[in-house]
């Protein structure tokens, strides 16, 4: 998968227990039409990811 926006997930995310989410453009358009998903909060299965 090629990175189009945002940043790569790093070891720092794991070491510091920082939640991240990877989505594709289809999901981005569905959840935030006409907007970027960067810095958005996503909640899935009751767990929040920033």
Q: Is residue 42 part of a domain?
A: yes
Three-state secondary-structure class, residue 42: strand
Task: Indicate if the pLDDT at residue 45 is higher than 70.
Answer: yes
Q: How far apart are CA 26 and CA 1, in angstroms?
A: 14
- The whole domain housing 29 covers 11-49
State the average pLDDT over residues 10-30.
Answer: 84
Q: Is residue 43 part of a domain?
A: yes
Task: Indicate if the pLDDT at residue 49 is higher than 80.
Answer: no
The domain tally of the chain equals 1
Q: How far apart are CA 43 and CA 21, in angstroms?
A: 10
Q: How far apart are CA 47 and CA 25, in angstroms?
A: 22
Q: Is residue 22 part of a domain?
A: yes
Q: How far apart are CA 16 and CA 39, in angstroms?
A: 18
Outline where 1-40 has alpha helix (H): 11-15, 25-31
Q: Is residue 6 part of a domain?
A: no
State the average pLDDT over residues 10-22.
Answer: 80
Question: Of 15-19, 26-30, 40-44, 46-50, where does mean pLDDT reach its minimum?
Answer: 46-50
pLDDT number for residue 9? 84
Q: Is residue 4 part of a domain?
A: no
């Amino acid at each position: 998968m090629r990175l189009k926006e945002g940043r790569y997930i790093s070891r720092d995310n794991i070491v510091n227990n920082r939640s991240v989410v990877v989505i594709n453009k289809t999901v981005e358009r569905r959840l935030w039409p006409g907007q970027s998903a960067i810095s958005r909060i996503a909640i899935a299965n009751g767990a929040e990811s920033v």
